[in-house]
Structure 1
Amino acid sequence: MQVYLSGEIHTDWRERIVNGVAALGSDLNVRFDAPVTDHAASDDCGVAILGAETDKFWHDHKGAKLNAIRTRTAIEAADVVVVRFGDQYKQWNAAFDAGYATALGKALIVLHGPDHAHALKEVDAAALAVAETPEQVVQILTYVQTGKLPG
């Protein structure tokens, strides 16, 4: 199963999911992909590859388009898309990824705390599951692949 881990980049949620699946050993056949989580590399990829820009808009525009190549390709290849909305920042890109995954008919798992339930109600309504912890995502992936409940 190919799983794309989209969303906020400031906490260890991706590592908790990847490590949780790895701890199960050979019980699960899951491959993970994710956006570039090095914030500086993600922001500056366009100008580093295609040349400098004096206007910040075009600087960001170049980077966003290069990152979109990676993101779109990974979402299209995914069986499941997990989108994490963190507490600290507004993740407009995460909302876009959730919408794109939904439009493609991908299985969507949304991950956020209870404080975001109202703000994300439309995104949550499109998801097949809404989790509050990375460990719940591991349990979802386990159940989907094996039919086994936790514990």
Structure 2
Amino acid sequence: MQRPLEFLSVFTVGTSLAEVVARPLSATGAARYIRVSRELGIIFAATWFILRWIERIRSRFSSDGRMDKTQVDSISRLATVVTVLIAILVMMDTIGLRLQSVLAFGGIGGVAIGFAGREIISNFFAGFMLFLTRPFSVGDWI
């Protein structure tokens, strides 16, 4: 957990110094880019921190033995993907890209895929639930 915090402190100090240097030059465009880069650095450090936290929790549950290793791995991968996707969306918003169109397209695309592949998706989620709950073990008669 130490590295993301080190990165955040060094990056924040660096961008603050750059902002102090750019202010007397009245470079308003430069100040905006410095502010955006600082925000992106904070988002990057927070994402890095969360990913390391997920990895630490994964290793703790894997070694503990309370949960199956494959369950822990799949849940940690899902959490990693969700974290990275949220970070990308927040970074896109920070840069100034309009997220409404991206999210609307994703929503419409999700609905279209849902109607087209309803059975496939239901089978996928049913299999995923069987994978997570593990109601059967090797050697059971069904």
Greater RCO, 1 or 2 (C-alpha within 8 Å, sep 6+):
1
Q: Which has the larger Rg?
A: 2
Which protein is richer in strand relative to its size? 1
TM-score (ref. length: structure 1): 0.32
Which protein is richer in helix relative to its size? 2
